[in-house]
Amino acid sequence: MDPAPATPSPAHVPPAEVPTAQAPPSEAPSGAVPPLDTDAPTKRRRRRRGCLWTLAILTIAYVGWEAVNWPDVAWYADHDPNTSAFVERYRRRAKREDLPPVRQRWIAYRHISRNLKQAVVAAEDMEFFDHHGFSSHELEAALRDAWEEKALPRGASTISQQTAKNLWLSPSYNPLRKVKEAVLTWQLERNLEKRRILELYLNFAEFGPGTYGAEAAARRYFGVSASRLSAGQAARLAAGLSRPRSWHPGAKSRSYERRVRIVLRRMAQARWILRNV
């Protein structure tokens, strides 16, 4: 008879595996330095590239918009415009504020009094027939006039610069606007004769609130055509060009009267202007 199988001794039974609890992750001690973000330089580079692309796209869009809307300066060499940026700006303001309607009437250069041409060049840009659109002399003249008039300096722009601003721009002092003015001034000088630039200026310069151009101003203040202006009347119109809202023949101002005397003195000293106008 076979013997019964031996029962294994308890000492030989392997103990049951007891699952061990996972230790909770230890909290970082206060004040510990967080791990470095190794992707930070890459993220910064991506942000910079994104900003540069955005700037490039905006610049291209702006340049494209300006190119489409840029005035055809050469067209003005033999075409008389019906209006200007400053005239239209006043029209919009007049509607909002219930101001008197704009006064503006074109007059050909040959019909404008030589007295007015002389007075305007003497008052605004003595070197007009000699420079190519820009002049440091006008800055010196503006500072000298301010000292004599005991007032803030007037604008030191040449007649060419003022023509560009009046026709196409705004009175803003934005640096970008000044850049556009410089480019347009260069184009004016390149495409138009001096007398044509002066003709455009005299037809769209502001000679008083809402009064644009020599013909409208002569009829409003003196009841005559711009072709019949005397030297004294011309000086009074030219004297107000730097501050047309407050200086004009209808104004009562000591500073304006001083300016009229300065213009008359300049006209007497610069008779040579008559040879060019």
Burial class (CB in 10 A: 0-12, 13-18, 19+), 234: buried
* pLDDT recorded at residue 46: 82
**Domains of the chain with bracketed CATH:** 85-275 (1.10.3810.10)
Q: For 248-277, what is the HEC assignment?
A: CCCCCCHHHHHHHHHHHHHHHHCHHHHHCC
Question: Do the Cβ atoms of 128 and 121 come closer than 8 Å?
Answer: yes
Tell which phi-psi region holds residue 133, choosing left (phi > 0), alpha (psi between -120 and 50) or beta: left
What single letter denotes the amino acid at residue 18? V
The CA distance from 93 to 241, in Å, is 20
Question: Do the Cβ atoms of 204 and 103 come closer than 8 Å?
Answer: no
* pLDDT recorded at residue 188: 98
Question: Do the Cβ atoms of 77 and 196 come closer than 8 Å?
Answer: yes
Instruction: Report which of 48, 258, 228 is spatially closest to residue 151, judged by C-alpha positions.
Output: 258
What single letter denotes the amino acid at residue 258? R
CA dihedral 221, 225, 261, 148 (to 10 degrees): 80
Q: Give the pLDDT of the chain (277 residues) as one tens digit per residue.
A: 455 555 545 445 455 555 555 555 555 555 556 666 667 778 788 888 888 788 788 768 756 766 677 999 999 999 999 999 999 999 999 999 999 999 999 999 999 999 999 999 999 999 999 999 998 775 566 566 655 655 555 456 999 999 999 999 998 888 999 999 999 999 999 999 999 999 999 999 999 999 999 999 999 999 999 999 999 999 999 999 999 999 999 898 999 999 999 999 999 999 999 999 9
SS3 104: strand
